[in-house]
Amino acid sequence: MEVKLSKQQKVTVNSAEDIYLIMRQILRRENKIGQGQEHFWMVGLNQANKILYIELVALGSSNMINIKPREAFRMAIYKLAVQVIMVHNHPGGNVTPSIEDQDLTDHFIQAGKFLKVEVIDHLIISDETYHSFVESGIFKKLQASERWILPYKLKERIRNEGKEEGLKEGKEEGLQLGEKIGKEEGLREKAIEIAKALKQKETSITIIAETSGLSIEEIKKL
């Protein structure tokens, strides 16, 4: 259900607190019984971080568990939102994220990547305070999670990492070979210098060959 917003609430979001203040106003519209239930909203934003819509996706703790990405992102696709913020309330006042809250966020981050609608934060709110997953650092950890990553994306990443590793190994082998060739060329130059010096002293070619390591044919050409 789309939440009716006033002109003052269709603002450009600059911080988690901006969202919190608006969501607290929306929650306070309800009576005490309504405020005592868990609500889950999705806030859709355009490229300029302006609020396009706020949708109440689920009501009640039992419904929270069963939220599917197709339900949560439906309005975002319809309204052409490019970013969304997840918001839900904890009626008891404790805004510490549960394991289930983190898992849902993890799931939606990956779903958003697939749908090209970026999840940029998750807020847990009460009447007095809020918890931002981004501000607490949890969000960054969930972005790196692979629990809900799509199988084809995982295969694609493994394939790309394999290519990069192959290029890295090839580069290292090339550097090692270049270093080896460089050393060999340096030694050869020194051998030629020695052979020339001995040849000027009219040393026997056989001795020069043994001393420098060059072949008799090479020494004759010097």
Domain locations in the chain as residue ranges: 7-149, 157-221
* Cβ neighbours of 32 (radius 10 Å): 6
> What's the pLDDT at 185?
63
- For residue 83, report the phi and psi dihedrals to the nearest 5 degrees: -140, 150
Q: For residues 139 and 141, give the distance between their C-alpha atoms in angstroms, rounded to a whole number.
A: 5
Strand partners, 53: 44
The CATH code of the domain at 7-149 is 3.40.140.10
Strand partners, 87: 41, 123
Can you tell me whether residue 100 is helix, strand or coil?
helix
Which candidate, 30, 28, 42, places its Cα nearest to that of 123? 42
Which candidate, 135, 58, 63, 130, places its Cα nearest to that of 94? 130
Q: Both tokens of residue 23? A: 């969501």
Contact 42, 75 (CB under 8 A): yes
Contacts of residue 91, Cβ cutoff 8 Å, sequence gap at least 6: 35, 36, 37, 38, 126
> What's the pLDDT at 57?
95
* CA 36 to each of CA 40, 50, 172: distance values in angstroms, whole numbers, following the listed order: 13, 29, 63
> What's the pLDDT at 210?
73
Q: How do the pLDDT tens digits run along the chain, 222 residues long? A: 778 777 666 778 999 999 999 999 999 988 887 888 999 999 999 999 999 999 999 998 777 778 999 999 999 999 999 999 999 999 989 999 999 999 999 999 999 999 999 999 999 999 999 999 999 999 999 999 988 887 766 666 667 766 666 566 666 665 665 566 556 666 677 777 777 877 777 777 777 777 677 787 877 877
> What's the pLDDT at 143?
94
Q: Is the whole model's pTM more than 0.75, yes or no?
A: no
DSSP string, 108-133: HHHHHHHHT-EEEEEEEE-SS-EEEH
Query: Is the Cα dihedral 77, 81, 82, 83 positive or negative?
Result: negative
> What's the pLDDT at 87?
97
Question: Beta 118-125 vs 39-45: how paired, if at all?
Answer: unpaired
> What's the pLDDT at 30?
85
